[in-house]
Amino acid sequence: MPVLKIALPNKGRLFDDVKLALADAGLELRASSERALTARLGDEFLALFVRAQDIPEFVADGAADAGITGWDCVEESGRELESYLDLGFGRCRLVLAARLGSADPPSVASLADDVRVATAFPRVAERFFASRGKRARIVPVSGAAEVAPHLGIADVIVDLVSTGSTLKVNGLAEVETILASSARLVARPRTSIDAAVVEAIDELAVALASVVRARDRRYLMANAPRAKLAEIREVIPGINGPTVVEIGGAGSDWVAVHAVVPQAQVYRVFARLRALGCEGLLVTRIERLSP
């Protein structure tokens, strides 16, 4: 089978996150230089570096077998692509926002027909207003859409937000979320490509999913009093309950317990295990995790 081509973002935070995820999955990018347009990705893939918004076109047209980009770029492209995996990073929302006046922000229904909409996502914006039975005049912008209402060139905007702080700074308020986005592994629909290619993409998805699943988990080990096992199982249920390992023979007063715990709970779990008399506690990162 020939080497598969994977289109990847060529710069920015998304590139950094994708590169790290691939490396954790055992797929190091090997490029001839920092400005190289392609790079080896393990032994099975060739990475093509292009703009994130161009990746859907590369994949849909067959220039790449798969790609990793934001779902907002896929939706704006209008191309028929399938999401094989949500990578969980690069999360943001595409929202409709309006100037914040003395009253509450308007609803979509209250907006006038032919409302002027500044956006870098004209296709998504047009589909959204059409689905609500509203006529809209799209004002394409390449950036800084939030200033458009203040300059009088648009009434509302459709733009990406993460926290919404930029909108507030510019005197805007969210009216409605149009689309939730995150980085996705995408390819053409399974029914339209060769079965061997689908299998290779699925294998890549499984490898990346194990990395994503491990990101907010930690592996915990401790020596625990056997008499406290029932209480310890309530503290660290793990995926299928903690693994209990005999140490010092079946009659020993001590056992070793191993468990995978959510990162956000490590502090509290650590303290509770200490209170139950556990010793030799060790918490370590997990590179990959499959259920």
3-class DSSP state of 195:
helix
pLDDT of 61: 96
Residue 252 carries which DSSP code?
-
Is the separation of the CB atoms in 218 and 283 below 8 Å? Answer: yes
Beta bridge partners of 69: 184
- Fold of the CATH domain 4-90+183-214: D-Maltodextrin-Binding Protein; domain 2 (3.40.190)
pLDDT of 50: 95
Count Cβ atoms within 10 A of the Cβ of residue 243 and give its class: 0-12 exposed, 13-18 middle, 19 or more buried.
middle
Query: What is the rounded distance in angstroms from the CA atom of residue 59 to the CA atom of residue 49?
Result: 12
pLDDT of 63: 96
Beta bridge partners of 94: 160, 179
pLDDT of 247: 84
Query: What is the rounded distance in angstroms from the CA atom of residue 172 to the CA atom of residue 151?
Result: 13
Beta bridge partners of 49: 8
pLDDT of 238: 60
Which residue reads 């292009």 in tokens? 50
pLDDT of 87: 97
Sequential pLDDT tens for the chain (291 residues): 578 999 999 999 999 999 999 999 999 888 877 778 999 998 889 999 999 999 999 999 999 999 999 999 999 999 999 999 999 999 999 999 998 764 566 788 888 889 999 999 999 999 999 999 999 999 999 888 999 998 899 999 999 998 878 888 888 989 999 999 999 999 999 999 999 999 999 999 999 999 999 999 999 999 999 999 999 988 987 656 788 888 877 678 999 999 999 999 999 999 999 999 999 999 999 999 987
pLDDT of 31: 80
Query: What is the rounded distance in angstroms from the CA atom of residue 136 to the CA atom of residue 132?
Result: 11
- Fold of the CATH domain 92-181: D-Maltodextrin-Binding Protein; domain 2 (3.40.190)
At a CB cut-off of 8 Å and minimum separation 6, what does 180 contact? 71, 91, 93, 94
pLDDT of 201: 96
3-class DSSP state of 191:
helix
What contacts 24+ positions apart, CB below 8 Å, involve 110-118? 111/155, 111/156, 112/155, 115/155, 115/156, 116/153, 116/154, 116/155, 116/156, 117/154, 117/155, 117/156, 117/157, 117/158, 118/145, 118/148, 118/149, 118/153, 118/154, 118/156, 118/157, 118/158
pLDDT of 78: 95
Is the separation of the CB atoms in 274 and 281 below 8 Å? Answer: yes
Q: Answer yes or no: same fold for 4-90+183-214 and 92-181.
A: yes
**Per-domain boundaries in the chain:** 4-90+183-214, 92-181, 217-285
- Fold of the CATH domain 217-285: Alpha-Beta Plaits (3.30.70)
Identify which of 42, 40, 55 has the alpha carbon closest to the alpha carbon of residue 8.
55
